[in-house]
Amino acid sequence: MGMSGPYGKDLERWIPRLIAVWRQARGRADGPETRLTPQEVKEVGAGVKQLSLGLTRERKLAGARYMDDPKLLGAYLLFYWPVSYAQAREALGELSARPRSVLDLGSGPAPVAFAALDAGAAEVTAADRSKPALALARALATEAGEALATREWDPLRKAPPPEGKYDLITMGHVLNELYGAGTRR
């Protein structure tokens, strides 16, 4: 699972952290550091299939609280997290100046927030409505030795975004999740 280009090494450093945090969350810390066991691959693959169908085809999970489901959150962490991180690193690399302070809305387990930190941001806040996703973000921050602020934020409750002064506000794949299946646009 490599990423070519200037950010590949950054992503490679995240893979063992993602695996370690996922295993800790499941209460099982045994296994190879840089790859999943065949049984783990099977488990994550089933979750990825469910996420893929639910977020792109059937759309039953779009806007749903799937990050609160440990199996789906784990599949997100080990499959979609690296993709979102890589996309964010590429986009952040296009900016003419590094943002100092970043707010990541709808962060989930914070792939975009960590991409911002790796791109040189000094202060990053990850905001999401999923407590389990934010807990994984904090565990990843601990594992990586990074300072990451987290805030609960639920836009469906008309809550204003976390207060503060930010040079950049990111939203990752939030737009994909604004409308669920059967929602009129």
Q: What does the domain layout of the chain look like in residue ranges?
A: 8-177
Radius of gyration of the chain (CA): 16
Helices 131-144, 111-118: crossing angle, 10 deg rounding: 30
pLDDT digits over 154-184, tens only?
877 888 888 999 999 999 877 666 555 454 4
- What type of residue sits at position 185? R
168 forms beta bridges with 102
CA distance 7 to 86: 7
- Check: CB of residue 55 under 8 Å from CB of residue 65: no
CA distance 88 to 75: 19
Residue 15, helix vs strand vs coil: helix
* CATH match for 8-177 among 3.10.28, 3.40.50, 3.30.2010, 3.10.290: 3.40.50
Which of 126, 119, 109 lies closest to 166, judged by CA? 126
Confidence bin at 185 (pLDDT 50/70/90) = very low
- What type of residue sits at position 155? P
**pTM across the whole model:** 0.86
Residue 88 φ/ψ, nearest 5 degrees = -65, -40
pLDDT digits over 43-74, tens only?
999 888 888 776 665 555 555 566 677 788 88
Confidence bin at 26 (pLDDT 50/70/90) = confident
